Amino acid sequence: MTNLPRFALTALAALTLASSAQAATSDFVGTWTNTNAATRGITRLIFTPNGDGTLNVQVFGKCSPTDCDWGKAGVLTYGTSVADTDHWLGSAVYNKGFSNTMLVMNLFPNKTMSVQSMTQFVDKSGRQNYANREVFRR
């Protein structure tokens, strides 16, 4: 079972690098804040357009005294079909050296975004992989 998450992260990273899909960026662009002020996970996401129809996301995680900046990652967006240009789902991958985190970001009509994060530890520390889902508002 440990090879499945590694394969999924590798496949998603390859798709992110290889794809040239154009996204409906205006639905994602901006600063999204976690609705749970007491989160121990992701506190904020900032989506910025690249000018070529693609997006970057900058993620901030809960740290003290200030939040940790994960840096920027490319976002791959998805619609409901090959003809759908109204993309409502995005994904991004962060390789932090000791772990890989895949984000799946789902936009909702009520101007909220569900973000599911799946983290796989690759540092042989014995820590268990984990997943989390949180809601964000612009």
Indicate whether 9 pLDDT > 50: no
Q: Give me the mean pLDDT over the 8-34 stretch.
A: 62
State the pLDDT confidence band at 86, using cuts at 50, 70 and 90.
confident
**Comparing 17 with 56, which gets the higher pLDDT?**
56
Domain range 3-137, CATH class = mainly beta
CA distances from 91 to 23, 69, 81, 116, 120 (A): 12, 18, 16, 10, 16
Residue 3: per-residue pLDDT: 52
How far apart (Å, rounded) are the C-alpha atoms in residues 91 and 13? 9
How far apart (Å, rounded) are the C-alpha atoms in residues 35 and 119? 21
On whether the pTM is more than 0.85, the answer is no
**Which of 47-56, 65-74, 90-99 shows the lowest per-residue confidence on average (mean pLDDT)?**
47-56
